Structure 1
């Protein structure tokens, strides 16, 4: 129960990696507030909040577009109003957008992806820090932020210029927030997944074929959402102490190859 009675907000928690994070955190004792555009599970199955409730946990859902400040503000505000504080903010919501190279990427495609993958993380971090600064120190932290980035925030994302750029922005935001607010006992870290099998589409024009991902990953399987959730749990817990501004690779050795 590493998150016993902690209050956690997870954006994009309806499906995929966000769902795995919300489920694991609830099983570790957290009270989880999920912000997403829909409760529909992309991979199928009961909504995340229902699964957590059936297991005896505490979870809430609030519709939230992370690219809209008022939505993010209301999401965190609702969590604090009901549970009294915010301990962990997980900025997971993201979009792949159109898988296109530079010349095929329209301004609208670019703006959409950057609004979610960059501005959404900016909004999530900002609103969390606002709340953390009003709170008393618990252990060694007033609050913790875990951003979900990507290996493609550090190396090129072939055929996905907007996606890669947005994730690179999330990596930078993580470091900047960590440095600017370390003296306030606010910890900000990130998890950078490699290829993870979720409900997101694989293959298609301009994207990485599944077979290439298998070939490129030294470990004998691709990632699962639970792999990312476990790493996020460590960064969200009090086990992560003298650690901030770190972008933890969970990629089966992809970036070491």
Structure 2
């Protein structure tokens, strides 16, 4: 148990990477608050809260649109009212754009930025405000892990708004880390490479998959569980002197 009795909020927890993080955290002893705009699972299957309840009785699902300030405030209020604190925030909720610059409308841009950047900012702000009130335990008042992307550091082909939003989240990770490390609030990020979540459509386009396999040095593409274990490390007391880091989970993609 690496997260015994920790109170952890995971946004975008219904599907994909967020779902894998929520389930792994529960297996590691955390009380997991799964937050998402919907209980529907993109890849199909039962709602994440049903699976979580088989792992622990210390869990709850909160329907929240992270792009809305009122929803984010309500999320944190509910968690603090029930558990008294927030030990971990995983900022995972996101949407993709899927368009190059010339085809990106203002509405497309706003939709991606509202979730990927504004949503992250609102959750970060509420988490930091709450964590500042908490006691220091094992050199931390709280831990934050943002889910960025390799495409926050290199071009995201035909996905202009998404790439810009993830680059912004990489910066926010560093800014929060440097501003609040002195207050024992630890902020880091995990940057996934090509992860096979079970989604259909563009995510498994044969041409895209072929490119990703050729571009990745390791002989397989990633899984949500690969990302979840990296997040677990940064969210746990095992990560003792790491702040502002953007940990690549990409099979070596960015190394070449």
In 2 relative to 1, CA 45–10 (structure 1 residues): closer, same or farther, beyond 3 Å? same
**After superposition, where does 1:98-177 map in structure 2 within 5 Å?**
99-177=98-176
Partner of 2:72: 72
Partner of 1:233: 232
Q: String of CA shifts for 1:189-231, please: whole Å, max 9, x gaps.
A: 0000000011444538x99711111111110110000000000
Stretches of 4+ moved more than 2 A in 1?
55-58, 199-204
Residue 33, structure 1, aligned to residue 33, structure 2: yes
Looking at structure 2, the residues matched to 57 and 148 of structure 1 have their Cα atoms a distance apart, in angstroms, of 26
Partner of 2:51: 51
Looking at structure 1, the residues matched to 180 and 82 of structure 2 have their Cα atoms a distance apart, in angstroms, of 26
Check the 8 A contact 1:160/1:207 in 2, yes or no.
no
Check the 8 A contact 2:26/2:56 in 1, yes or no.
no
Looking at structure 1, the residues matched to 183 and 243 of structure 2 have their Cα atoms a distance apart, in angstroms, of 12
Partner of 2:254: 255
Residue 62, structure 1, aligned to residue 89, structure 2: no
Query: TM-score, length-normalised on structure 1?
Result: 0.96
Report the count of equivalent residues. Answer: 255
Cα distance, 1:73 vs structure 2: 1.1
Q: Unaligned 5+ residue runs, structure 2? A: none
Q: What RMSD, in angstroms, separates the aligned Cα atoms of the two structures?
A: 1.5
Q: Unaligned 5+ residue runs, structure 1? A: none
Looking at structure 1, the residues matched to 183 and 17 of structure 2 have their Cα atoms a distance apart, in angstroms, of 29
Query: TM-score, length-normalised on structure 2?
Result: 0.96
Looking at structure 2, the residues matched to 200 and 45 of structure 1 have their Cα atoms a distance apart, in angstroms, of 12
Check the 8 A contact 2:31/2:56 in 1, yes or no.
no
Q: Secondary structure at the match of 1:61?
A: strand
